Amino acid sequence: MKLSKICQEIHLELLEEDREIDGLHTLSEATSSQISFFNDIKYVNQLATTKAGAVFIDEKHAPLLPQTTIALITDEAYLKLALTSKFFAHKIETKGGHPSMGEECDIDKRVRFGKEVTLGDNVTIMAGAYIGDKSVIGSNTLIYPNVTIYHHSEIGENCIFHAGVVIGGDGYGFAHTKSGEHIKIYQNGNTVIEDNVEIGANTTIDRAVFGTTYIRKGTKLDNLIQIGHNCDLGEHSLMAGQAGLAGSTTTGRNVIIGGQVGTAGHIHIGAFSTIAGKSGITKSLEGGKTYAGFPAIEHISWLKIQAKIAGLIKKRK
């Protein structure tokens, strides 16, 4: 889409040479044919090195951009991103197609496929499942009833998805107008589930805003888990039921997360960490340790605090 056309549609003035735009991405990942945005001072150091073709940015910080990047001046960069995201969203339609299948697949006749779906060998898909456009499912994967896999999802080999799993639904992303309205940010990334992953019933894994949400190889997820957009859950990790990762949470390998644990977004949990049930993680955690409580702290410290509280109660009695 021409940058001039985008600017016209979202009511911005383009003062520089026009160019073709094929998508959106972050400052660090955007290419010369993509638009990015700047609305958080903690990313100011990325302005000078971005390769984005254009950036939604306020007038104060625009001089920090490289000469090759067009500054699209606005005091509502995040809102303009949301409005632009719609132009690059996948077209949703009901018309499907026949998948390209490997050998010895077992597909129930009540399964629906989008266009250009690819299945490996020995894939089993049970009744009521839907596999979206251009999705790929690796060999020996088992899909139980009523699983939904949205468009452009990539599923590895030897995976098991239990009933009601949803892969690649939209992440929870909205920009807000000055008058308090909420404008959808279309989620134009995808979801990748690597090999040997098992996902419990009614677990949901959101697609990325741009880029990819990853569930790495060998990870096992319980029922009723929520993984937000742009998360990256490390290989061979374990998560118990009703736990949730907010958007852009990343972890190292072999992380164990107990039931009903919740995280803030944009944090990292180090490899070989264990998080006790019902903990609330508000900041990044060092690997190789056990944590508990809200906000989550090292488990031994949390136990000492609980003992102190119990002692105070006894004294009052």
Show which residues are catalytic: 229
**H-helix or E-strand spanning residue 168:** strand 166-169
Contacts of 8 (CB under 8 A, 6+ apart): none
Beta strands 226-227 and 70-73, pairing class: unpaired
Give the whole-angstrom CA distance, residue 51 versus residue 60: 20
Find the largest Cα–Cα distance for the chain: 77
CA angle 88, 194, 282 (to 5 degrees): 75
Give the number of other CB atoms < 10 A from CB of residue 155.
27
Which tokens is 11 given? 């009511």
Of 41, 39, 76, 75, the closest CA to residue 59 belongs to 75
Q: What CA–CA distances, in Å, run from 149 to 25, 132, 218?
A: 23, 6, 19
Burial 65-85 (b: 16+ CB within 10 A, else e): beeebbbbbbebbbbbbbbbb
In angstroms, how far is CA 45 from the centroid of its own chain?
Answer: 24
Edge to edge, what strands does the sheet with 70-73 contain?
Answer: 23-24, 34-37, 54-57, 70-73
Tokens of 251: 């972890």
Return the ∠ at Cα 236 (arms to 262 and 154), rounded to 5°.
85
